[in-house]
Amino acid sequence: MMKEPRMDADERGWKSRLGWLFMALLLGMATACQKRETLASYDNTQERAAFYERYNAEVLEKLEAQKKELEAELAGALSEVDRTEKQQQLGDTLRHLQRPKYFEILSEAELPQDLKWETADNEPEIGSPEAKKGGTFHSYIPGGAYPPTIRCVGKEANNSFRSNHWDDIELSLVSMHPNTRKLIPALADRWAVAEDGQTVFFHIDPAAKWSDGRKVKSGDWLMTFYVYLSPYLTEAFYRNYYSEEYWGISTYGDDCLAIRLASPKPLAPLFAGLSPFQEEFYKEFGPDFESRYNWRPRPTTGAYQILEKDIQKGRSIAVSRVKDWWARDKKYYRNRFNADRIEYIQVRDEEKTFQLFLRGEIDTYLLGDPKKWYEKTEIPAVFDGYIEKATFYNQFPAVSRGLYLNLSRPLLSNPDIRIGLSHATNWEKVIELDLRGDAERLNILSAGYGEFSNPNIRARPFSIQLAREAFARAGFTQTGGDGILQDSSGRRLSFTINAAKGSPTAEAMLLRIKEEARKAGVEYKLELLDPTASFQKVSSKEHEIAFTGYQLSPPVPDYYQHFHSKEAYEPGTTKPRPMTNNISVFADPEVDKLLEANRSAHSIEEIRDTSWRIEQIMHDRAVWIPAFNRPFYRVGYWRWVRWPDDFNVALGNEPEMNYLYWIDTDRRRETEEAMRTGKTFPERNLVFDQFRETPAAK
């Protein structure tokens, strides 16, 4: 299943792990104190049935109109290229018309009998067999602000805490092994891909249960699509994505279902393997969904659930391991999700969070800040072995961290100015000094996707000469009294960089960028806003340059949402469209075709080819200025937090993401006693580089 963008996890206090455009919806919005209101009873059963019929009719009507339009166009004069494209579209439409219903409720007897079922029993186990169940893991709420909701969908749901109770917890139909990258069972114990390459059948594991004891049924996925396609959600993203990328769902009794993708895909079960919404729980889904369900704990298929008593608004929130969790003895899950309880406290100040960690009130802390890693952890608790440190090289897709240029602004619409800015921005010096060499220059938007990442592109280096040559091509040849270049009409090369404040390291980097740019005749003005204000400005496309970064999930990159024209401007206007991930406001109808081909690619080769071409276009046009990437994460942890011998898995962007750790309560008592008596342990600063990739030749 493709997920929404997730944010950088190098330092939880600086960046959230989710899509930046949504991150600040969490921060600063004081909805955490709202009280549950007494609401009228509501049952959407009949409404859903009517919706299924109405939506099916709308799909059929749309397909028939498409067929008529395409046939008319093909009857006229077309270029060879356009004719080929229209014929392909007509073929897809005719194929879709053979089975136009989006929602199908069928009997088990109607399940095709010639399916070739697959499963995966031979992949290695995940985690350590030495892991112990029990104990409480103490952590903190990412970003410092209390989550505005515990919903997983709808307004403000995609906040920085959602991963802790949904993305990394809830099970989907199938999953990807985090080391071998092969498909493994989750809620489905077997699956089959039809000959069309886009219809995927799943058999639900008979043992699969919700945390409230109800059996997982195929109808839960009917509810899932109903919710995603509903007008009751604030965001149009879900309605667009699930209507465009899926042809529908069919249930075959309670135990089997098929999900039809809009096009054949490699790894089709992964794209089709959605996480379900329990039919019973969401029966009250309606016009007031976002308020009615805002603080309502939901049943889960995963190992942890939020209990109402553990929601302490403005203070803490916790998740508890599900008693008799149905997957506790399953091969790929039995050594994971070991703590009985995980408590997340709210700490608004990042430095205070760090101090709480040093005092043992927080069990682990990401040490992405070089000053914390090299200086602030040179303390007795580390020397005496109470706190251990580790560097782990992972293989998770890189955060596309950099400066995003708003191409709707007059100066930034000029490619020579964008190229000049690329040469005037000295990320090399930031890496050398501010990051102490513990990073590498990022070259492309979607690094870390293996064969899908274009290895031939290199970010433009800092060069005063090349910057000034590019600016001269744009007409900026005169130097003002302040050293900033200007053109004959007096326009200055002056730009504002928008960024969320809160990280001293990030602010120091931007100050260095500003200082270095003046050497090339560029003025960078820094606009460091609180995260909410920063979000509002960028989401409204009112920024000039935004310093941010996205992180998408494996297995393939997704450029469509960041660069397609429909995500750039309001239809038929030159007004930038707010609340989309195309913060560059990039729009090119010809590139749209490539973006569409990339999203609907039928083969690994097509994904690779279109991804490489898109990256080359974005580089050639200097749409953004890549910053840096760390191919590892660093973490400090108290010695009672234990890890597998190889520490972690390749696919993970922070140590807790795959829940391989466990709490050794005996070791905790030993450590606390040692601290009282002065006993020490060997200092441990470990490096795990089994997944380290050799850097590409420059």
The string of DSSP letters for 38-97 reads P------HHHHHHHHHHHHHHHHHHHHHHHHHHHHHHHS---HHHHHHHHHHHHHHHHHH
**Backbone phi and psi for residue 188, each to the nearest 5 degrees, phi listed first:** -95, 135
Cis status, amide bond into 5, omega within 30 of 0: no
Candidates 139, 140, 144; CA nearest to 24 is 144
Question: Exposed, middle or buried, 419 (CB in 10 Å: 0-12/13-18/19+)?
Answer: buried
* Rounded Cα–Cα distance for residues 421 and 622 (Å): 9
Of residues 561 and 110, the one with the higher pLDDT is: 110
Question: What band does 225 get if pLDDT is binned at 50, 70 and 90?
Answer: very high
Return the pLDDT at 532.
65
Residues 261-317: tens digit of each pLDDT: 999 999 999 999 999 999 999 999 999 999 999 999 999 999 999 999 999 999 999
Q: What is the Cβ-side half-sphere exposure of residue 515, based on CA atoms within 13 angstroms?
A: 8
* Rounded Cα–Cα distance for residues 581 and 269 (Å): 26
Q: With beta carbons less than 8 A apart as the criterion, state whether 416 and 474 touch.
A: yes
Question: Exposed, middle or buried, 181 (CB in 10 Å: 0-12/13-18/19+)?
Answer: middle
Question: What band does 7 get if pLDDT is binned at 50, 70 and 90?
Answer: very low
* Rounded Cα–Cα distance for residues 500 and 8 (Å): 13
Return the pLDDT at 228.
97
Looking at 3.30.530.20, 3.40.50.1820, 2.130.10.10, 3.10.105.10, the CATH number of the domain 409-629 comes to: 3.10.105.10
Candidates 15, 95, 179, 170; CA nearest to 648 is 179
Mean pLDDT of 380-407: 96
* Rounded Cα–Cα distance for residues 187 and 246 (Å): 20
Q: Which residues are CB-contacts of 372 (< 8 A; sequence separation ≥ 6)?
A: 354
Q: For strand 545-548 and strand 402-405, is the pairing parallel, antiparallel, or unpaired? A: antiparallel
**SS3 category, 612:** helix
Q: With beta carbons less than 8 A apart as the criterion, state whether 298 and 278 touch.
A: yes
Question: Exposed, middle or buried, 566 (CB in 10 Å: 0-12/13-18/19+)?
Answer: middle
Instruction: Return the C-alpha torsion angle 246, 248, 252, 256, nearest 10.
Output: 20
Q: Token digits for 486?
A: 């200007």
Q: Token digits for 433?
A: 């000094």
Residues 584-639: tens digit of each pLDDT: 999 999 999 999 999 989 889 999 999 999 999 999 999 999 999 999 999 999 99
Q: Taking the model in full, what pTM does it have?
A: 0.87
Residues 672-691: tens digit of each pLDDT: 999 999 999 999 999 999 99
Q: What is the largest CA-CA distance in the chain?
A: 90
Question: What band does 390 get if pLDDT is binned at 50, 70 and 90?
Answer: very high
Q: How many helices (H) and strands (E) does the chain have?
A: 20, 27
Domain segments of the chain as ranges? 349-394+631-688, 409-629
Question: Exposed, middle or buried, 378 (CB in 10 Å: 0-12/13-18/19+)?
Answer: exposed
Residues above pLDDT 90, as percent of the chain: 83
Angle between helices 45-75 and 219-229 (to 10 degrees): 70
Q: How far is CA 350 from CA 12, 503, 508, 521, in A?
A: 9, 8, 16, 35
Candidates 661, 653, 540; CA nearest to 16 is 653
Query: Does pLDDT of 155 surpass 80?
Result: yes
Residue 659's Cα: distance from chain center in Å? 18
Q: With beta carbons less than 8 A apart as the criterion, state whether 301 and 276 touch.
A: yes
For residue 292, the surrounding DSSP H or E stretch is helix 289-292
Query: Does pLDDT of 215 surpass 90?
Result: yes
Residues above pLDDT 70, as percent of the chain: 94
Neighbours of 407 (CB within 10 A): 22
* Rounded Cα–Cα distance for residues 62 and 74 (Å): 18
Q: ∠ at Cα 670 (666, 673), nearest 5°? A: 140
Q: How far is CA 551 from CA 191, 363, 497, 537, 558, in A?
A: 29, 25, 21, 21, 10
Q: Which residues are CB-contacts of 483 (< 8 A; sequence separation ≥ 6)?
A: 518, 521
Lowest mean pLDDT among 29-38, 238-247, 654-663: 29-38
Residues 78-97: tens digit of each pLDDT: 999 889 989 999 999 999 99
Q: What is the DSSP string of 177-224?
A: -TTT--EEESSEEEEEE-TTSSEEEEEE-TT-B-TTSPBP-THHHHHH
Q: Which residues are CB-contacts of 609 (< 8 A; sequence separation ≥ 6)?
A: none
Query: Does pLDDT of 404 surpass 70?
Result: yes
